[in-house]
Amino acid sequence: MAKLNQIIAVEKGVKAKSHQDLTAAHHGLQKPALLAGISRTYQPKDEEGEQLPPEATRVQVQAEDVLRETARTLTRLFDVTATKDWANRTARADVTVEGRTLLTQVPVSYLLFLEKQLADVHTFIRKLPVLDASESWTQDPSTDAWKTEPVRTVRTKKVPRNHVKAEATDKHPAQVDVYYEDVPVGYWTTVKFSGALPARRVNELLDRVEKLQQAVKFAREEANGIEVTDERVGEAVFGYLFG
């Protein structure tokens, strides 16, 4: 008796072969020359007339034969798919993470859904914003955000200054250069806030989703390991269609 995972393994190949055979049969039936035959004999008007050999072309494709072969090919596909789908109704397993059973008796179809969704969740978590590691952050209950320690910086203002290069004389005015000097005028106290997450938290979430992903895969393998009963539906379907 086969197991569900064995049926799943061969299903893809059976589908591909069925599609290939059905396409070939369809194309063959679209060529009238293969379906046509002829037999001709020649008789001259009198005994002295030219004798010609008979001509004959055999029918190369019989539509009924194509129907029988198509039914045989598709019957295999219908049976394999039915065996899988019938078995999927009873194939179930628990999802267990670190000894804790999160979900019980989950159907295979839902386990497949979980696998896809958890892959999306994993991508989502991996792209979560992370706090700047160059800063020191603490939680601020008043804003429900993360904040840094206050940093005090000086605010300066450019003040013009005069530099006398040469004093004034009776004949020449003083030579003066103007330059600007940064003069402290106040202080900024800066506190940064962020709604991002610590790297530790993101790594913890990634670890959880990866463990759950693995648990779901294990559960699917367990569910797919059940023994199946071969279903025979193709013969009934094509016995009616082509009978």
Residue 242 and residue 181 share a domain: no
Q: Are residues 96 and 208 in the same domain?
A: yes
Whole-angstrom Cα distance, residue 109 to residue 210?
A: 20
What pLDDT, on the 0 to 100 scale, is given for residue 216? 97
pLDDT at site 93: 95
The count of domains in the chain is 3
Output the tens digit of pLDDT for each of the chain's 243 residues: 688 889 989 999 999 999 999 898 888 888 888 778 888 888 888 888 888 898 888 878 788 888 888 999 999 999 999 999 999 889 999 999 999 999 999 999 999 999 999 999 999 999 999 999 999 999 999 999 999 999 999 999 999 888 877 777 777 787 878 888 999 999 999 999 999 999 999 999 999 999 999 999 999 999 999 999 899 999 999 999 888
Q: Which domain holds residue 13?
A: 1-91+232-243
For β-strands 193-194 and 145-148, DSSP reports them as: antiparallel
Residue ranges of the alpha helices (H) in the chain?
A: 4-29, 32-35, 63-88, 108-126, 199-223, 234-241
205 CB neighbour count, 10 Å cutoff: 17
User: Is residue 48 domain-resident?
Assistant: yes
Q: Are residues 97 and 80 in the same domain?
A: no
Indicate if 122 and 172 belong to the same structural domain: no
Domain identity same for 124 and 216:
yes
pTM score, two decimals? 0.68
